[in-house]
């Protein structure tokens, strides 16, 4: 639990963003402990919520907006139940703060200048202190200082093929036929999602000995052996036979895809370990030669990936690995030459080349690469826009902004709203603002947008939401435009909706008799409903509280609340909920 940093929202905010149904179900998820560990990094929260399966949920608080994301299929009004549970968990302070590096890191240029200025004796003293603290670093130093002939590993080329064949056999022979019995042996309850995770664990366990062996080599500075094992499991994990023992349809014909997903996590874990290793240029060049030899071996003559029955090296799969390997201009230049000579300067290598350009401090290469691939990659497009913004290259900024919005409007609308020069790019700005309001349905942004509309345009824009899924947002629009009679019409059409309290709040004292009648009828229906329980009474409190706000109906309100509180036969749970809602004042007989 962590309550040190301020939280910028309340339960009421969450309730406002969700439908009543989503809020109630989300509250149940929260109460039953379905929210797993949440991590906070500044105003970004990330975690997992159990539902019919595990869903990844995040909340980014920026510009006083709560921006939720969940990978569940929910596509109706408001935030989903998983996001509600996630938010309530945060409000309870049940999250862990990520350790953030507070000190701004030096740029490579700054480091190079300081390194060149430092005396040799100071450099050696610093190196000695580092080596004294870490035996693995000592082993890396020994490997680093060897001649290239000494540092070549003892594993011959066939080692890759041995690993490849071994892992291929083990993955092909995994037995999922009795997975239900094995799962029950470890767990005393049935859970479809848990069984899927258990199957993934079986695959992960097959990889683990290879990962550990590779990691052991890397910690000792023996990069070549670690990379050979990595390439072996990469090759051996391809073209696995579809399972004939998948009786529970866990993979449903997608066994290779499931294995590949786990494999790429392992490859990236190995890459992260390589980041922390001191690497001699000669060894890095040897590794690159080895990788490109394997690429030539399997990729020559193949124009496309997924040639059935054949191993294929996708250069994008080695993005993180190459990023970890190249630490200076020598290795970066060599990698770029290899990509060129092997005709791999393509979309799959785009991030690798952008990283090379940064290391080489080659602005032209970076811009050319980003310009080439930005039309097909929204992340690169965003990086390019930011680069042009930083350099105050307004024409290029606007050009890429238009292209990006045309291709990925929903991903770029808010960025453009916050970064365009409104006077010079008003047309694009208004397109982005309209798109954001339509999709995100944030009333604050419509309040800005309406200032650019004529009266007829306001009417037309608001009417587009009349038959939409988010009735609450439609009412917010009507309220802003003071179209109160239409709010009443909407409330009457949705008199049985769980959102009624949100619909009538703006008109409580404009149409007091009508609102009073709506509230009374809704609560009478709830009270007479079949199977009512405490949750029914809790739901009733949301509209009953509104009665106190209807200034001209206070006498009628007191009478009606008294009738509920003193209901015959006695309803103790209803009384309890009314007390909690402070609706029991002067109501006893």
pLDDT on residue 452? 96
* Cα separation, 541 vs 531, whole angstroms: 18
Listing from the earlier edge strand, what are the strands of the sheet with 44-50? 65-70, 54-62, 44-50, 39-41, 96-97
Give the pLDDT score at 477: 97
Taking alpha carbons only, the member of 523, 524, 565 closest to residue 541 is 523
Residues shown for the chain:
589
pLDDT < 70 stretches in the chain: 1-6, 52, 76, 99-109, 111-112, 120, 123-125, 127-158, 178-195, 244-249, 300-309, 587-589
Torsion of CA 429, 430, 435, 436, to 10 degrees: 70
Burial class (CB in 10 A: 0-12, 13-18, 19+), 451: exposed
Cβ-based neighbour number of residue 583 at 10 Å:
20
Q: Number of helices (H) and strands (E), helices first, in the chain?
A: 30, 5
Helix (H) or strand (E) holding 41: strand 39-41
Question: What is the number of other CB atoms lying within 10 angstroms of the CB of residue 578?
Answer: 21
Cβ neighbors of 508 (< 8 A, separation 6 or more) are 515, 546, 549, 550
| Cβ atoms 295, 313 nearer than 8 A | yes
The domain ranges of the chain are: 11-97, 136-361, 387-460, 483-580
Report the distance separating Cα 460 and Cα 439, nearest Å. Answer: 17
What local confidence, expressed as pLDDT, does residue 133 receive?
Answer: 66
Residue 35 per-residue DSSP state: B
Cβ-Cβ contacts under 8 Å for 535 (sequence gap 6 or more): 24
- pTM for this one? 0.73
Give CA–CA dist 162/152, Å, rounded.
19
Closest by CA to 224, choosing from 144, 155, 319, is 155
DSSP string, 375-391: GG-HHHHHHHHHHHHHT
- Residue 421's nearest CA partner among 457, 451, 452, 394 is 394
pLDDT reported for residue 360: 95
- Residue 279 and residue 325 in contact, taking contact as beta carbons nearer than 8 Å: yes
Bridge-based pairing state of the strands 44-50 and 39-41:
antiparallel
Closest CA to 176 of 260, 244, 257: 244
Q: pLDDT tens digit string along 308-320?
A: 568 899 999 999 9
């Amino acid at each position: 639990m962590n309550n040190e940093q301020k939280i910028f929202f309340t339960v009421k905010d969450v309730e406002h963003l969700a439908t009543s149904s989503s809020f109630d179900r989300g509250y149940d998820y929260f109460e039953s402990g379905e929210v797993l560990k949440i991590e906070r990094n500044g105003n970004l929260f990330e975690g997992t919520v159990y539902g019919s399966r595990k869903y990844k949920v995040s909340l980014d608080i920026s510009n006083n907006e709560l921006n939720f994301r969940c990978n569940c299929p929910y596509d109706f009004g408001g935030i989903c139940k998983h996001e509600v549970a996630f938010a309530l968990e945060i409000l309870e302070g049940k999250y862990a703060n990520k350790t953030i590096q507070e000190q701004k890191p030096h740029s490579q240029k700054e480091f190079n200048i300081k390194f060149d200025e430092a005396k040799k004796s100071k450099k050696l003293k610093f190196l000695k202190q580092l080596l004294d603290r870490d035996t693995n670093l000592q082993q890396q130093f020994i490997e680093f200082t060897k001649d290239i002939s000494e540092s070549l590993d003892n594993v011959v080329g066939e080692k890759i093929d041995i690993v490849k064949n071994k892992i291929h056999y083990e993955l092909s022979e995994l037995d999922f036929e009795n997975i239900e019995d094995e799962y029950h042996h470890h767990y005393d309850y049935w859970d479809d999602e848990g069984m899927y995770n258990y199957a993934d664990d079986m695959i992960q366990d097959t990889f683990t000995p290879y990962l550990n062996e590779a990691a052991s080599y890397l910690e000792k500075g023996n990069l070549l052996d670690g990379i050979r094992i990595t390439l072996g499991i990469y090759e051996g994990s391809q073209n696995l036979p579809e399972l004939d023992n998948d009786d529970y349809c866990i993979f449903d014909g997608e066994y290779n895809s499931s294995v590949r997903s786990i494999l790429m996590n392992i490859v990236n874990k190995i890459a992260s370990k390589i980041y922390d290793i001191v690497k001699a240029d000669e060894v890095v060049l040897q590794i690159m030669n080895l990788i490109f030899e394997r690429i030539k071996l399997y990729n020559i003559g193949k124009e496309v990936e997924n040639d059935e029955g054949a191993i294929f090296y996708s250069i994008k799969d080695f993005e993180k690995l190459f990023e970890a390997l190249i630490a200076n201009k020598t290795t970066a230049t060599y990698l770029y030459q290899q990509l060129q000579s092997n005709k791999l300067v393509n979309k799959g290598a785009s991030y690798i080349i952008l990283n090379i350009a940064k290391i080489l401090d080659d602005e032209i290469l970076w811009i050319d690469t980003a310009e080439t691939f930005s039309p097909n990659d929204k992340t690169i497009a965003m990086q390019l826009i930011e680069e042009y913004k930083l350099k105050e290259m307004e024409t290029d900024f606007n050009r890429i902004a238009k292209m990006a919005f045309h291709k990925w409007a929903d991903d770029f609308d808010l960025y453009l709203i916050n970064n365009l020069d409104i006077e010079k790019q008003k047309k694009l700005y208004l397109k982005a603002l309209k798109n954001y309001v339509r999709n995100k349905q944030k009333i604050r942004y419509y309040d800005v947008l309406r200032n650019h509309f004529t009266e007829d345009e306001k009417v037309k824009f608001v009417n587009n939401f009349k038959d939409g899924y988010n009735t609450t947002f439609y009412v917010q629009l009507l309220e802003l435009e003071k179209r109160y009679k239409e709010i009443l019409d909407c409330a009457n059409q949705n008199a049985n909706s769980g959102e009624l309290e949100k619909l009538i709040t703006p008109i409580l004292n404009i149409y007091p008799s009508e609102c009073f009648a709506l509230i009374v009828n809704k609560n009478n229906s709830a009270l007479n409903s079949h199977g009512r329980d405490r949750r029914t009474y809790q739901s009733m409190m949301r509209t009953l509280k509104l009665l106190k706000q209807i200034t001209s109906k206070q006498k009628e309100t007191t009478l009606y609340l008294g009738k509920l509180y003193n209901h015959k036969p006695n309803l103790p749970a209803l009384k309890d909920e009314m007390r909690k809602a402070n609706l029991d004042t002067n109501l006893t007989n």
